[in-house]
């Protein structure tokens, strides 16, 4: 479905309109350009700019490490009770029950889907197991949040996207969580709107020393746990890089046409097949290239992205961002009021989302602007959107019965919280699959535009 297909879109005209207002506000208050937040503060005040909508009852399928993180996050939302849990591994099921003690427990996801109590499911199984569960969940009329990447093959990803598109009565959201993060949405105007001038290239990295290996007393389960570093997974670039690939394509409003990859096992020589250090160069239209590297062998500089333009460069890290201007770039109306931070010999103009609320709660503008991880905003958006869509669908069918011909048009007018759709899920998954393919082959791989077709 494409209810929220363009929810994160933006053009230059919007930027001019909104930046004028922002500049005016900055002049009036002498403060920085700011975005609002939806996060409860650490100071005890709860901000609810993601409004609490109707309650949505959840089932969570796949209770590994990330599945348990999802359970903890859902517990933070006041309208997202978890009523059912599912994992094929009994010990995982038992351990997760502590996070949702009232939830019914299933080892067979089909039985969870048969539960009328479950309105929405989060699918956090290993990537290669997503397809059938998603198809069955959509067929059962459940709203679906499927972790990213959607699948490990383009065919599976297309099958998921096609089913999601056809399921007009429910919300499908891939786990591209940055699409819902207020900071990322706040940056789109700066990347797209001309403050950087012509985009010339971008760079992204994810560095974190650690093996990614998980252990279990059950050998079969241990293999399942380690799918990310084995033959069933998409490796560092696919399983993790998919989020940064998605953001890059979103910001550049484009899709890569080719990727050249490199990968090596530099440190963790424990029988794994997936490289622990990878590099990839993506080719975008008009000569723009973006570089990505990830490593499990070093943590220096952790994760960040840099978008280079002829007038300025934007660096994004830790849910914060800075604009670095070229000396020959024109003065931006608002920049004189903005906070400046020093980075070695460079001066960055802070593009701080949430600073208004920070001021209100006495936080310094240099502290982390958001109390929660991106998954919080993604699940909050999903819950909110499911509530709104389900209510609309209910009223629609009450009035028009089974004639769904007008439903897509009706839903297209709803204002939903920003979230990725099947479209972005398919695009990012295709890029992730091709990046992993290039890395394993150590060569250039074309990304044919037909791969994105549905």
Residues that bind other proteins (CB under 8 A): 36, 49, 51, 53, 384, 388, 391-392, 394-396, 398-400, 403-410, 413-415
| Residue (141 or 406) nearer to other proteins, CB | 406
| Residue closer to other proteins (CB basis): 78 or 408 | 408
Nearer to other proteins by Cβ, of 2 and 264: the residue is 2
Question: Judged by CB, which is closer to other proteins: 162, or 404?
Answer: 404
Phi, psi of 341 (to 5 degrees): -120, 145
CB 335 to other proteins: min, Å: 24
CB atoms within 10 A of CB 300: 8
CB of 220 to other proteins, least distance (A): 46
User: What residues contact 213, with CB distance under 8 A and at least 6 apart?
Assistant: 226, 229, 268, 270, 272
**Contact criterion met (CB below 8 Å) for 179 and 246:** yes
- Strand ranges, E, within 49-192: 58-61, 82-86, 104-106, 120-123, 143-146, 172-174
Decide whether 53 or 194 has the Cβ nearer to other proteins.
Answer: 53
Residue whose CB is less far from other proteins, 31 or 313: 31
93 vs 414, beta carbon nearer other proteins:
414
Question: Based on CB atoms, which residue is closest to other proteins, 365 or 404?
Answer: 404
Distance of closest approach, residue 54 Cβ to other proteins, in angstroms: 9
Structure tokens at 414: 């709803």
Question: Minimum distance between the CB of residue 52 and other proteins, rounded to whole angstroms?
Answer: 8
Q: Which residues contact 134 (CB under 8 A, 6 or more apart)?
A: 123, 144, 146, 150, 160, 163, 164
Nearest to 381 by CA among 42, 53, 5: 53
In the complex, the smallest distance separating the C-beta of residue 82 from other proteins, rounded to whole angstroms, is 23
| Cα gap 136→146, rounded to integer Å | 12
Q: Give the chain's end-to-end CA distance (angstroms, integer).
A: 12
- Sorted by sequence, the CB contacts under 8 Å of residue 333 that are 6+ apart come out as 19, 23
Beta strand 172-174 with 143-146 is parallel
As a whole number of angstroms, the distance between CA 134 and CA 120 comes to: 11
**What is the nearest approach in angstroms of other proteins to the Cβ of residue 358?**
15
Distance of closest approach, residue 8 Cβ to other proteins, in angstroms: 15
Give the integer Cα–Cα distance in Å for 321 and 238.
25
| Closer residue to other proteins (CB): 298 or 360 | 360
- Min dist. Cβ of residue 401 to other proteins (A): 9
Compute the least distance from the CB of residue 50 to other proteins, in Å.
8
Q: Taking the complex as a whole, how short is the minimal distance between the CB of residue 376 and other proteins, in angstroms?
A: 18
Encoded tokens for 135: 């198809």
Q: Give the residue with the Cβ less far from other proteins, 21 or 155.
A: 21
Got the DSSP string for 354-404? THHHHHHTT--TTS-S-SS-HHHHHHHHHHHHHHHHHHHHHHHHHHHTT--
CA distance 52 to 87: 29
Judged by CB, which is closer to other proteins: 343, or 400? Answer: 400
Identify which of 251, 244, 237, 250 has the alpha carbon closest to the alpha carbon of residue 204: 244
Alpha-carbon distance 279 to 241, whole Å? 11
CB of 49 to other proteins, least distance (A): 6
Contact between 207 and 299 under an 8 Å Cβ cutoff? The reply is yes
Give the alpha-carbon dihedral of 394, 395, 397, 401, to 10 degrees. 150
């Amino acid at each position: 479905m494409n209810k929220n297909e363009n929810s994160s879109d933006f053009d230059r005209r919007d930027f001019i309109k909104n930046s004028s207002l922002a500049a005016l506000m900055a002049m009036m208050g002498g403060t920085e350009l700011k975005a609002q937040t939806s996060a409860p503060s650490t100071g005890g005040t709860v901000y609810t700019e993601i409004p609490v909508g109707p309650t949505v009852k959840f089932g969570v399928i796949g209770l590994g490490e990330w599945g348990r993180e999802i359970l903890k996050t859902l517990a933070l939302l006041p309208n997202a009770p978890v009523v059912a849990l599912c994992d094929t591994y009994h010990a995982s099921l038992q351990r997760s029950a502590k996070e949702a003690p009232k939830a019914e427990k299933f080892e067979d996801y089909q039985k969870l889907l048969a539960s009328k109590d479950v309105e929405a499911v989060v699918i956090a199984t290993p990537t290669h197991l997503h397809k059938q569960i998603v198809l069955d969940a959509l067929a059962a009329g459940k709203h679906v949040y499927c972790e990213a990447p959607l699948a490990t093959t383009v065919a599976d990803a297309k099958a998921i996207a096609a089913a999601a598109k056809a399921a007009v009565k429910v919300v499908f959201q891939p786990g591209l969580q940055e699409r819902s993060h207020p900071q990322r949405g706040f940056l789109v105007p700066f990347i797209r709107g001309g403050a950087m001038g012509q985009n010339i290239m971008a760079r992204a990295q994810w560095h974190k020393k650690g093996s990614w290996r998980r252990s279990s007393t059950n050998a079969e389960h241990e293999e399942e746990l380690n799918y990310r570093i084995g033959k069933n997974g998409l490796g560092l670039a696919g399983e993790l890089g998919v989020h940064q690939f998605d953001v890059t394509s979103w910001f550049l409003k484009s899709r890569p046409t080719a990727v050249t990859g490199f990968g090596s096992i530099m440190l963790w020589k424990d029988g794994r097949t997936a490289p622990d250090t990878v590099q990839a160069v993506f080719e975008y239209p008009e000569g723009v290239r973006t570089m990505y590297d990830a490593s499990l062998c070093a943590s220096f500089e952790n994760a960040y992205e840099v978008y280079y333009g002829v007038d300025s460069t934007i660096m994004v890290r830790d849910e914060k961002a800075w604009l670095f201007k070229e000396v020959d770039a024109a003065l931006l109306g608002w920049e004189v009021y903005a906070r400046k931070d020093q980075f070695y010999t460079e001066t960055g103009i802070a593009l701080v989302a949430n600073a208004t609320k920070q001021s209100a709660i006495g936080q310094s503008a240099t502290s982390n602007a958001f109390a929660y991880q991106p998954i919080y905003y993604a699940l909050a958006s999903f819950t909110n959107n499911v509530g709104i869509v389900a209510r609309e669908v209910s009223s629609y069918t009450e009035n028009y019965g089974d004639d769904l011909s007008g439903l897509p048009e009706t839903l297209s007018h709803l204002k939903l919280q920003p979230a990725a759709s099947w479209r972005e899920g398919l695009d990012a998954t295709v890029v992730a699959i091709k990046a992993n393919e290039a890395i394993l082959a150590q060569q250039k791989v074309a990304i044919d535009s037909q791969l994105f077709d549905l």
